[in-house]
Amino acid sequence: EVVLTQSPATLSLSPGERVTLSCRTSQSVSSSSLAWYHQKPGQAPRLLIYNGASRAAGIPDKFSGSGSGTDFTLTISRLEPEDFAVYYCQQHHSSPYTFGQGTKLEIQ
Amino acid sequence: QLQLQESGPGLVKPSETLSLTCTVSGGSINSRYWSWIRQPPGKELEWIGSISYTGATNYNPSLKSRLTISVDTSKTHFSLMLTSVTAADTAVYYCATDSSPTRWFIWGQGTMVTVSS
């Protein structure tokens, strides 16, 4: 099973800032096999990025994904109040499809 | 617009069977892949398993021996059955779907299931 480790666990930032979230996999995965979601309290997760760098329908271009091998990142170019949530990475390289433990983005 | 809604009991006794249904509206169940994902309180997401509209399944090995996912195309819903539950199965259970079996664009709102006597 591929284990995903996200860092940091919590980030405190201000609206308008740029942020890069990290996701490391326990074994090499295809660069097109990584997805990112965010989840707000009491809500279901929302798909942001799939296949490593493709934005899901309706996701603005301030979100971008990149990486290869075992190191992947999600960048949000300019934080807005609605972006403060928990972010999860997920690998779809091999079954079982696994998620990271999440990075909580909170308002400073 | 495709929408999903989970339904089922919110409380299940240990050793019993957890049964949930996901009703699909606004679109056809005769395409796409249909999945269950859960999230224990305060923890990360866990993929449970997926089924295609043809009935082909893919289960998380950690749950496979207790798990059945089925699809009813005539009634536009798919279901989850998890046997011999314990407190570790307490979680919010989500149904989800996408054109790929390995990612999830459309989600239900989730339903909390507590395993307790």
Residues of A within 8 A of B45 (CB-CB) are 37, 45, 88, 90, 99
Select from A95, A103, A104 the residue whose CB has the most chain B CBs within 10 Å, as the one to mutate to test that interface.
A95
Q: Which of A43, A47, A101 sits opposite B105 (nearest CB)?
A: A47
What is the arithmetic mean of pLDDT over B38-57? 94
CB pairs under 8 A between A and B: 47
What's the rounded Cα separation, in Å, for the pair A3 and A24? 8
Confidence of residue A9 (pLDDT cuts 50, 70, 90): very high
Confidence of residue B72 (pLDDT cuts 50, 70, 90): confident
Contact check, Cβ <8 Å, A88/B44: yes
pLDDT in tens, A35-93: 999 999 999 999 999 999 999 999 999 999 999 999 999 999 999 999 999 999 999 99
What 3-state DSSP class applies to A81?
A: helix
Tokens of B114: 């507590």
pLDDT in tens, B15-38: 999 999 999 999 888 889 999 999
Q: What is the pLDDT of residue B12?
A: 98
Looking at the predicted structure, is the pLDDT value of residue B73 above 80?
Answer: no
- The β-bridge relationship of strands B11-12 and B111-115 is parallel
Q: What is the pLDDT of residue A32?
A: 87
What's the rounded Cα separation, in Å, for the pair B54 and B33? 9
Q: What is the pLDDT of residue A7?
A: 94
What's the rounded Cα separation, in Å, for the pair A56 and B87? 35
pLDDT in tens, B50-60: 999 888 999 99
Q: What is the pLDDT of residue B54?
A: 86
End-to-end CA distance of chain A: 36
